[in-house]
Amino acid sequence: MEIKVYPFYARLSLSLVAIFLIFFFLKYAESIFIPMSFAGLLAIMLIAPCDFLEKKGIPRGIAAIVSLLLSVFLVVFVLYFISSQIISFRNDLPALVTQFESVLDSIQVWIKHRFHMTHTGMQQLMNSAKSQTISSTGSIVGSTVSSLSNTLLYAVLIPIYTFLLLLYRGLVVRFLIRAFQDQHTPKVYDILGKTRHVIKNYIVGLMIEMAIVAFLNCTLFFIIGVKYALLLGVIGALLNLIPYLGIFTALILSCLITFTTNTPTVVLELAIAMVGVHLVDSNILLPRVVGSKVRINALATILGVVVGSMLWGIPGMFLAVPIVAILKVIFDGVDSLNAWGILLGDDRDEATVHQKKKHGLRWPVLRKRRVPAGEAEA
């Protein structure tokens, strides 16, 4: 049977339409894919304790429940610690509001003298800002209620999906094996094993990194004299899970809260401390603790975080790096997709180095052409 080859523009058009439909489907069905993605990552993490309990003679269903309950207790403990700090912050909220209003008054006086604005003009500017804030309050409340309802829904669905994935993980593997031809079975097993290894190493390393960053943040904040050192240190470590963008969010939030409770000198010291911890994290902790066999370059990571935010919001930002890592494992395992795996990796990646050695590729070096003596004399 003759295989028809379509022109390049036709294949490009079909690829773009397929990508658009995939992204549209991911956005439209986010209520399904977000909890399923978190459940899949959690299930991969809990396979090891489930296997350990099953080897002791415990049925698979009970082993899955016990492993899931242990992870739920750990999450509840972390949330309880954060909520206790938030309660302390809430008790001081009226004083913070008063302090923030005094700061706004000082800014208003500075603007008035700096730009020579009259009292009437300043009052009109403040009234306009207040009216815009009041008009946007309804949408803010609506989005907050929607986010809260989605969070509660995910909190119920993720444990259920995780339990079912652990219970039927053998069925999922058999489905993936049957979905491809027999000659691809070793390759499918290899990709599944590498995916599990990469995700497990990434998440475990991320938890260790988060604990170290939280400890460094809290210690430095206590030394500096920040009032909400524990709360800001833990929040900074949690936001640090978002690659490249989380540090800026944590820095702005911490500086704003500290500015209403401390002097500008303390705010400056806090900013320097957070930047210092971030430099230690990026250059020491991240390569050694979170580093794995699959390396993703900074461009692919940032694009993944941005696309994840566009599709699924904050959950998409957290899921971006694991999903990109899984895609890279798949691309490296499929010969026809190796180019995409190289695009996601960096020069230190084993697959990239192997391809360069295989084809004798080196970075081009511009050399000055030697001019023969006859040409030079002419």
pLDDT digits (tens, 9 = 90+) for 164-183: 999 998 898 889 888 888 88
**Residue count of the chain:** 378
Q: Is the pLDDT of residue 366 over 60?
A: no
Answer whether residue 100 is part of any domain: no
Nearest to 321 by CA among 243, 216, 211, 233: 243
Query: Each residue of 95-142: pLDDT tens digit?
Result: 667 766 776 777 777 777 776 666 666 666 666 665 665 555 555 555
Quick check: 348 pLDDT over 50?
Answer: yes
- Decide if 348 is inside a domain: yes
Q: For position 109, what pLDDT does the model report?
A: 72
Backbone angles phi and psi of 238, in degrees to 5 = -65, -45
Note whether residue 124 is domain-resident: no
pLDDT of residue 377: 47
Residue 133, domain member (yes or no): no
- The answer to the question of residue 301 being in a domain is yes
Is 81 domain-assigned? no
Report the C-alpha gap between 311 and 247 in whole angstroms.
21
Whether 303 is covered by a domain: the verdict is yes
Give the residue numbers spanning the domain of 303. Answer: 293-362
Q: Is-contact 66 159, C-beta < 8 A? A: no
Q: How many CB atoms lie within 10 A of CB 44?
A: 23
Residue 146 is predicted with a pLDDT of: 63
- pTM of structure: 0.73
Higher per-residue confidence, 42 vs 8: 42
In whole angstroms, what separates CA 73 from the centre of its chain? Answer: 23
In 3D space, the residue among 286, 297, 308 whose CA is nearest the CA of residue 342 turns out to be: 297
Q: pLDDT per residue over 274-333, tens digit each?
A: 889 888 887 777 766 665 555 778 788 888 888 888 888 888 888 888 888 888 888 888
Cα 115 to the chain's mean position, in Å? 42
Q: Kindly state whether residue 147 falls inside one of the protein's structural domains.
A: no
For helices 229-239 and 185-224, angle between their N-to-C axes, nearest 10 degrees: 150
Rounded mean pLDDT of 330-359? 71
Place of tokens 């691809």: 184
Percentage of the chain with pLDDT > 70?
75
- How buried is 131 (Cβ within 10 angstroms: 0-12 exposed, 13-18 middle, 19+ buried)? exposed
Are the C-beta atoms of 208 and 284 separated by less than 8 Å?
no
Closest CA to 157 of 39, 274, 275, 41: 39
Tally the domains of the chain: 1
**How deeply is 154 buried, as exposed, middle or buried, from its count of CB atoms within 10 A (0-12, 13-18, 19+)?**
middle
What pLDDT does residue 364 have?
46
Cβ-contact 295, 348 below 8 angstroms? yes
Q: How far is CA 203 from the centre of its chain?
A: 11
